[in-house]
């Protein structure tokens, strides 16, 4: 496997875990995250949206208005180091636990973390409310908690991840359009592939809070589910969505008015198609 080509990809997660008032949590406490979430368990459904994944029994859980999140031992440790016993804390410090690598990771990502451990070790924070390695490495655009440090900027802006996501989505959609043209138009196979591409596009758009991209892809996916699957969608609807998504991605990222107008055009098209289907069924 050492010779396999791995893409340079690393996922950026929001860690979510329980946090107990005075012990390492396993079954009770408040729900917190590394980006400012701090809610009671009773508020879970108000802050988390669960969506059924088509053609399966799975559910996708996402923080409302923010996207996917990461749970499990890594998240719990990351958010509750100060709740470990003194013996466990000492063992972690002696072992040098002050860095992590998020899966999936490449050999290059692993090497960069090893270099960071050796050359840029994290500071160890001791305060009234937290004890452990400094959890901040960079400014987070989606961080919603209070800014506690003198060095914190008044406004955190990071457009790099959003731009990379839009470029990736644009490449995928262009590849999809070229495949459709090469096959002489949409068919069952390309429609099924389009559905999967739209699912990924919606997921990435949510992660980087690109509302117009998310809305356009979501409208198409909902329509496809309503008519019994993407293979039952009209070619005009699919091609119109691909064209508009391309226009949104090629346009100014800050032109929300223009993007919204394009999305409303797609919604009008879907309404016409729904009405036509209802008339045929009557």
Q: For the chain, 282 residues long, give each residue's pLDDT as a single digit of tens.
A: 556 665 555 666 788 999 998 899 988 899 999 888 889 888 888 888 888 877 877 788 888 878 888 898 888 988 888 888 888 888 877 776 666 666 666 666 677 777 777 777 767 677 666 666 676 655 554 555 555 555 554 444 356 667 777 888 888 888 888 888 888 888 888 888 888 888 888 887 877 778 888 899 999 988 888 888 888 888 899 889 999 999 998 888 778 888 889 999 999 999 999 899 888 887
> Are 263 and 244 a contacting pair, CB within 8 Å?
yes
Tokens standing for residue 184: 């002489």
Can you tell me the distance from the alpha carbon of 260 to that of 251, in angstroms, rounded to the nearest whole number?
A: 12
Asked if residue 228 is part of any domain, the answer here is yes
Residues 85 and 176 in one domain: no
Asked if residue 244 is part of any domain, the answer here is yes
Asked if residue 7 is part of any domain, the answer here is no
Bridge partners (DSSP) of residue 50 are 61
Asked if residue 45 is part of any domain, the answer here is yes
Residues 116 and 191 in one domain: no
Residues 105 and 33 in one domain: yes
Residues 128 and 23 in one domain: yes
Asked if residue 113 is part of any domain, the answer here is yes
Residues 260 and 213 in one domain: yes
Give tens-digit pLDDT for 48-101: 888 887 787 778 888 887 888 889 888 898 888 888 888 888 887 777 666 666
Give tens-digit pLDDT for 181-206: 888 888 888 888 888 888 888 887 87
Those residues whose C-beta lies under 8 Å from the C-beta of residue 34, and which sit 6 or more positions away, are: 14, 15, 78, 79, 135
Residues 203 and 106 in one domain: no
* 3-class DSSP string for 64-120: CCCECCECCHHHHHHHCHHHCCHHHHHHHHHCCCCCCCCCCCCHHHHHHHHHHHHHC
Residues 202 and 108 in one domain: no
Q: 258 is in which domain, residue-wise?
A: 160-281
Residues 123 and 207 in one domain: no
Asked if residue 172 is part of any domain, the answer here is yes
User: What pLDDT does 157 receive?
Assistant: 36
Asked if residue 149 is part of any domain, the answer here is no
Asked if residue 9 is part of any domain, the answer here is no
Give the count of domains, the chain. 2
Predicted TM-score of the model (pTM) = 0.46
């Amino acid at each position: 496997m050492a010779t396999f080509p791995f893409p340079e990809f690393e996922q950026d997660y929001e860690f979510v875990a329980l946090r107990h008032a005075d012990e390492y949590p396993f079954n009770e406490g408040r729900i917190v995250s590394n980006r400012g979430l701090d809610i009671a368990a009773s508020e879970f459904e108000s802050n988390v949206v669960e969506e059924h994944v088509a053609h399966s029994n799975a559910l996708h859980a996402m923080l409302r208005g923010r996207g996917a999140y990461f749970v499990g031992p890594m998240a719990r440790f990351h958010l509750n180091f100060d709740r470990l016993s003194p013996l466990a804390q000492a063992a972690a410090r002696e072992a040098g636990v002050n860095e992590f690598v998020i899966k999936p990771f490449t050999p290059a990502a692993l090497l960069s973390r090893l270099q960071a451990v050796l050359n840029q070790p994290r500071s160890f924070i001791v305060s009234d409310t937290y004890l452990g390695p400094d959890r901040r490495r960079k400014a987070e655009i989606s961080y919603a908690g209070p800014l506690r440090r003198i060095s914190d900027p008044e406004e955190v802006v990071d457009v790099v991840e959003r731009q990379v996501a839009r470029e990736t989505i644009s490449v995928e959609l262009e590849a999809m359009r070229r495949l459709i043209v090469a096959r002489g138009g949409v068919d069952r196979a390309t429609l099924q592939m389009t559905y999967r591409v739209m699912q990924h596009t919606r997921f990435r758009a949510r992660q980087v809070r690109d509302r117009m991209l998310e809305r356009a892809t979501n409208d198409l996916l909902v329509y496809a589910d309503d008519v019994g699957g993407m293979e039952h969608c009209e070619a005009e609807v699919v091609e119109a969505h691909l064209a508009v998504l391309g226009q949104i991605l090629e346009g100014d990222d800050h032109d929300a008015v223009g993007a919204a107008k394009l999305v409303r055009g797609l919604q009008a098209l879907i309404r016409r198609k729904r009405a036509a289907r209802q008339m045929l069924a009557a």
